[in-house]
A and B are shown apart, each in its own frame.
Chain A
Amino acid sequence: GENVEQHPSTLSVQEGDSAVIKCTYSDSASNYFPWYKQELGKRPQLIIDIRSNVGEKKDQRIAVTLNKTAKHFSLHITETQPEDSAVYFCAASGAGGGNKLTFGTGTQLKVEL
């Protein structure tokens, strides 16, 4: 089955700096790659997603890039703010049909003042 690896597990940046989180997936049939943000005690919230026919997508301070050949995708957050502090999960789906999401292990992002 699909396997998703995520790095780093923790990331600490200064406010205003950029943050990058990287994921790799194993199943080349996966075609949908969402990123979720989960604040402490809250539900996961979708922040951005990308499909396999697109190499890059941007939404204000957040961007995602996808390299299908290498089976890598990355989340980029620019001009980080304290409210960006949370756990971020990457995921992959589409292999085998349906909406099964295989998640990475999460990255605890801390934005320091």
Chain B
Amino acid sequence: DAKTTQPTSMDCAEGRAANLPCNHSTISGNEYVYWYRQIHSQGPQYIIHGLKNNETNEMASLIITEDRKSSTLILPHATLRDTAVYYCIDFSGYQKVTFGIGTKLQVIP
């Protein structure tokens, strides 16, 4: 079973920021927070990851709370092409990857 919990679905207006939350209630000290997304009928795509500090790349920003029990993925200006299922994953490199159900983000024109 997945270790993280996410809302099942979210809507976001095109051009607005999409904020996707994730709870990491059992994350351990050596586990990183990873975010992936899966566009319909495609393989998962890596977005971003972090350990403690907030991270930003060309795709998104990642906010991790100080206790690391929750994180938020931010897509600053959502486009229709961002419609996908978003997965947050706790991973340390020493175990198999477990995908949860993820959050189905629908970007609305």
- Check if A and B associate: no
